[in-house]
Structure 1
Amino acid sequence: MGGVDERVRSAGRMRAHANAFVTRVTARNRLPLDYSVASLRVVDFLIDGLRKGGAQPEHVHGTLFGLGAYVGEVLVRRAGAVWVDFDAEQQAFFGQPVGVRMPDGRVWNPLGKIHNRFASGVPEDSLHTFYLTLPGRARRAAGVGATWGL
């Protein structure tokens, strides 16, 4: 699905990148990428499909980046996270320029999580499970949405 323009790699552009990715991949397919927690199972399925198809990381870098942006945006919309630009130390640690900060102050690396899932292919690296076990999520007020994003 193409490479990633380096200008997109800033916290302020990640929502737009996630939305463009969803529009692009759902235009031809009926994938339920609706920013729900359940849709993270679709992300796991897509990554498994890329692996089973023998895709090389350098050939699917843009797709993996789009999936990482999508997962990060699910964290923003469902868990109360915000996109942040990593400082130099965080970039060196995570290997990515952006990530998300949870309501409790912890930072997470959804882009790296996607790459790890692609590299390992093991169910223990599931993005859906990652969300469900993620500490620091914000509770949603009753009547506003699903509590704990479930």
Structure 2
Amino acid sequence: MHRESDNAPTTPSADKMRAYATQFVDRLTERSRLPLDYSVASLRLVDLIVDGLRRDRPDRARVALTLQGLGAYTGEVIVRRAGGRWVDFDAGQREFFRQSVGIRMPDGRAWNPLGKVVNRFETGPEESVQRFYLMLHGRARTPVRCL
């Protein structure tokens, strides 16, 4: 496990992110009927959930676990739909992305879905999670089989 800061939740290592995302989705959807089905279209829902979290302008620390869960879900969509894989970032990447884990695409590029969700929370609609996916470079050339 990695620790980002004293105010941030503990982030699982790359080999635990799939299970973390699955557990987050299970907890979130047991209370509501949110269609978090790992589809690209469901990333629009991630944008809407983050916008709802922003509405009352809470301190980021209050919603940090939810943001981390939504970032893990976003990353897992990239893994399942675009051929990425979870990786633990090296020291330079951790400093640059301000996260300990991310996604490596088939072309070798690294992406930061957890940070993208935080950016949506801090900045607003111009930081769309769904648009992030649609503009992702390095996706697999052939469709990735959904697990």
Name the TM-score, length of structure 1 as normaliser: 0.87
Structure 2 CA distance for aligned equivalents of residues 139 and 15 of structure 1: 22
- Which residue in 2 is equivalent to 1:128? 130
Q: Distance in 1 between matches of 2:102 and 2:44?
A: 20
Of 51, 64, 67, which residue of structure 1 is paired with 2:67? 64
Aligned equivalents of 2:91 and 2:131: distance in 1?
A: 29
Greater Cα shift, 131-140 or 83-92? 131-140
> Cα distance, 1:140 vs. partner?
2.7
Match of 1:111 in 2: 114
The unaligned stretches of length 5 or more in structure 1 are 146-150
> Do the aligned partners of residues 11 and 141 (structure 1) sit closer, same or farther apart at CA in structure 2, a change above 3 Å counting?
closer
How many pairs align?
139
CA gap of 1:33–1:49, structure 2 versus 1, over 3 A, is same
Conserved 8 A contact 2:81-2:143: no
Segments ≥4 residues shifted beyond 6 Å: none
- Give the Cα separation in 2 of the matches to 1:27 and 1:104: 36
Per-residue displacement from partner, 1:6-46 (whole Å, max 9, x unpaired)?
A: 3x520001000000000000001000000000000000000
| Structure (1/2) with the larger helix percentage | 1
Larger displacement relative to structure 2 (72-81 or 130-139): 130-139
Confirm whether residue 49 of structure 1 aligns to residue 89 of structure 2.
Answer: no
Alpha carbons of 1:141 and 1:114: their partners in 2 closer, same or farther (altered >3 Å)? closer
For 1:33 and 1:42, how far apart are their aligned partners in 2? 8
Work out the percentage of aligned pairs sharing the same amino acid: 60
CA distance in 1, matches of 2:58, 2:73: 20
